Amino acid sequence: MIKVHGLSLSNHSAMVKFALKEKKIDFEWIETLPYSMSKDETILEKSAIGALPIVEYEGEFISETLAIFAFLDQKFPDTKLFSTDPLENAKTVEIINICQFYIELQARNYYPFVFFGAEKKEASQEIKNKIHMGFKALERKASLSPFMMNKFSYADIYASLSIFTTIPVCKQVYDWDILEDFKKISESLNIINSREITKSVYDDIAKAMEKM
């Protein structure tokens, strides 16, 4: 059985949970802290930089969400979340990378302040510009009718959970309601987030936040 070493309040861990639920794959969840929090050296043997999620399968460990997505789609192809069409497949990865590098990784600079009570850092205009560029790219490249690609895919999972953490960063750091500026993205997210599986994933995050 697939084992997921994840942190319930982590958006990346939730992405893998979301994918497994979509694909109707049974899994065991092992609540785990990343290396940066636990200093547990064994995590570094399993994960590229000690971050979560990590998937364990037949004694092997895979980290990096995009790599895990690719593995799950090839290993369990009944419900495909990457297209078999090479062009659609590449475009799905392109959307994921926009969300990963130009949106979420930028917002991540402020997670200690927004989510973990750290002191407020200076609001960097450079980071704000990058997030804006990321949203512009998403608006240009994604289908948004209603999903990121022509049908529900990994791009929707990644976009939903990376933008979920970016919204409070924009609000609290820049007093910026980013979804007001990107209405079509907002409409697409509303549809993705109203699906039953999405709601169950967000319920788990909310419960983990309450416990914090």
Q: Which residues bind ligand GSH (CB under 6 A)?
A: 10-12, 34-36, 49-52, 64-65
Six-digit token string for 181: 């500026």
Q: How far is the CB of 35 from ligand GSH (least distance, A)?
A: 6
Nearer residue to ligand GSH within complex by CB, 36 or 190: 36
Contact 30, 4 (CB under 8 A): yes
Cβ contacts of 172 within 8 Å, gap of 6 or more: 110, 113, 114
Q: Which of 143, 138, 18, 24 is nearest to 69 (CA)?
A: 18
- Report in angstroms how near the CB of residue 93 gets to ligand GSH at its nearest: 13
Residue 43 CB, shortest distance to ligand GSH, in Å, is: 9
114: its two tokens: 């927004």
**In terms of CB distance, is 49 or 90 closer to ligand GSH?**
49
Which is closer to ligand GSH, CB of 111 or CB of 181?
111
Q: How far is CA 139 from CA 16, 89, 165, in A?
A: 24, 18, 18
To the nearest 10 degrees (0 to 180), the angle between helices 86-97 and 154-174 is 20
Least separation, in Å, of the C-beta of 196 and ligand GSH? 23
Nearer to ligand GSH, 66 or 133 (CB): 66
The CB-of-130 to ligand GSH minimum distance in angstroms stands at 17
- 204 within 8 A of 8, measured Cβ to Cβ: yes
- Which CB, 44 or 123, lies closer to ligand GSH? 44
